[in-house]
Amino acid sequence: MRRLLDSSYDTAVRDNLVPLTVTRIAANTCYRFAPPFIAIIAGQAQGFDVSITRVGLVISISELAGFLAPLLGTFVDRVSRRTSLAVGLLGSFVGTMMMAGAPNLVVLCVGLTLLNLLKSCFDLGMAAWISDRVPYERRGRVVGFTETSWALSLLLGVSLLGVITAATSWRIAALVGGMSIAVCAVWLDRRIRAAGEVPVSTEHAPRAVGRMGARDWLVPLSMFGLMGGSQCLFVTFGAWLTDDFDFGANGIAAVGFALGAGELLSSVSSARLTDRIGKERSVALGAGLMVPSALVLAGFDSILPLGLIALAVFIIGFEYGVVSMLPIATNLVASAPGKGFGLVIGAGTFGRGVLTFLATALYEWSGISGAALASIACAMLSAATILLFNRGRRS
């Protein structure tokens, strides 16, 4: 990481980006594990022998808990960064272990809800830790590097858990994921404790602390569309591969690996380009790329190679857009990065919650084409609102 960030960056940032990123890979892996394997979790044996829609409802309810992220943001701004990171990882571990041992859908829902909510606490703490040490105009590069954890969680983490699922069961895979969080949490806590705390930065504070203008609410709305649109396809592509092409856990894991590679490309591209071409324009570019790719998937879902290519392009666009959005979120509320970031992430996870249930219902009604059309509407909403926010900022 020292080769990627020159000496002008804070030493603590250069020393701890790898531990932060690796730990977030573990947390994101557990968070992203359930949707691609929704058909397997819903099935018999180690599953629950229920419909995909019922498991989709469970995932949807757990995602809706992310709407509480603004409250977590306030918590993060009031406690030490180390505390917020530790609380987030502890909750993620407990939630994943509950998921692994869930005897019924109620316990599964509680475990997933705890995982989704407390992982947000970790994300908020990490974003605040970075914003304390990196000026806004240079933050896109650092965030882009840490956000490779989202791509690598799919490329490596979910793919590995998929292989474990094929060899044993999805419950054993979840157990392995939870233990990885525990190991990384101990390692990261030692590094963050050694780095120490710094006062929260008060740079770039054009508004009163803790307040947002009316135009600023366009950013959470844009994130709602961006994350909701991505969830439409992410929560249904595994079922599509299983139902239409007889894919098993290994096959879904292989597709997840390929999609993770695309996400990694987007994260690296965002680290290099977002600060240069503009954060708002980058978000709109990513959302814009989602529209034609989802349209292709909706029209040619019976052609596997074309459908997979369209899905990959869709994921690449989403990843580039969401990574570009995060620096905007940390600067949304002056002197309170956790509050602004929490609001935006909360809106995004709320979008995931709403669209998870809608997408799974559309899937059972009309296949992946219906879910793809819903994702197009969400992506268009995201692009329009972030461009309107950018226009208002310049005027």
The DSSP-derived string for 207-248 is S-TT---GGGGHHHHHHHHHHHHHHHHHTTHHHHHHHHH---
| Helix (H/G/I), strand (E/B), else coil: 80 | coil
Closest CA to 80 of 191, 193, 201: 193
User: What pLDDT shows up at residue 392?
Assistant: 67
User: What pLDDT shows up at residue 76?
Assistant: 82
Q: Cβ(61)–Cβ(349) under 8 Å?
A: no
Local structure of residue 202 (DSSP, 8 states): -
User: What pLDDT shows up at residue 394?
Assistant: 56
Report how far Cα 135 is from the mean position of its chain's Cα atoms: 23
SS3 percent helix, strand, coil of the chain, rounded to 5, is 85, 0, 15
Q: What distance in Å separates the CA atoms of residue 247 and residue 162, rounded to the nearest whole number? A: 12
Residue 223 lies in a domain: yes
User: What pLDDT shows up at residue 204?
Assistant: 39
The DSSP-derived string for 3-24 is TTS-TTS-HHHHHHHHHHHHHH
Q: What distance in Å separates the CA atoms of residue 231 and residue 387, rounded to the nearest whole number? A: 22
Token couple for 125: 């703490």
Q: What distance in Å separates the CA atoms of residue 88 and residue 115, rounded to the nearest whole number? A: 9
Residue 103 lies in a domain: yes
Domain CATH code at residue 62 = 1.20.1250.20
Structural domain including 73 reads 11-196+210-394
Q: Cβ(26)–Cβ(149) under 8 Å?
A: no
Residue 210's CB is within 10 A of a number of other CB atoms, namely 13
User: What pLDDT shows up at residue 290?
Assistant: 97
Q: What distance in Å separates the CA atoms of residue 175 and residue 5, rounded to the nearest whole number? A: 35
Q: What distance in Å separates the CA atoms of residue 83 and residue 71, rounded to the nearest whole number? A: 15
Q: What distance in Å separates the CA atoms of residue 117 and residue 121, rounded to the nearest whole number? A: 7
Closest CA to 185 of 393, 356, 30: 30
The per-residue pLDDT string of the chain (395 residues; one tens digit each, 9 = 90 and over) reads 556 677 778 888 888 989 999 999 999 999 989 988 888 898 866 778 888 888 888 988 888 777 777 778 778 888 888 999 999 999 999 999 999 999 999 999 999 999 988 998 999 899 889 888 888 777 777 887 888 898 899 889 999 999 999 999 999 999 999 999 999 999 999 999 887 766 544 443 444 445 677 888 999 999 999 999 999 999 899 999 999 999 988 898 899 898 888 888 887 887 777 778 888 999 999 999 999 999 999 999 999 999 999 999 999 999 899 988 988 887 887 666 677 878 898 889 889 888 988 999 999 899 999 999 999 999 999 999 999 998 866 55
- Only one residue has tokens 């094929």, namely 166
Instruction: Look at the chain and report how many structural domains it folds into.
Output: 1
User: What pLDDT shows up at residue 1?
Assistant: 53
- Only one residue has tokens 């990574």, namely 323
CA angle 113, 258, 383 (to 5 degrees): 65
Residue 201 lies in a domain: no
Q: What distance in Å separates the CA atoms of residue 116 and residue 95, rounded to the nearest whole number? A: 8
CA distances from 361 to 232, 233, 374 (A): 10, 12, 11
Residue 238's CB is within 10 A of a number of other CB atoms, namely 26
Q: Is 232 exposed, middle or buried (0-12, 13-18, 19+ CB in 10 A)?
A: buried
Q: Is 86 exposed, middle or buried (0-12, 13-18, 19+ CB in 10 A)?
A: buried
Token couple for 296: 């292709």
The dihedral over CA atoms of 361, 379, 251, 359, expressed in degrees to the nearest 10, equals 0
Interhelix angle 249-277/159-167, rounded to 10 degrees, is 170
Residue 359 lies in a domain: yes
- Only one residue has tokens 């329009």, namely 384
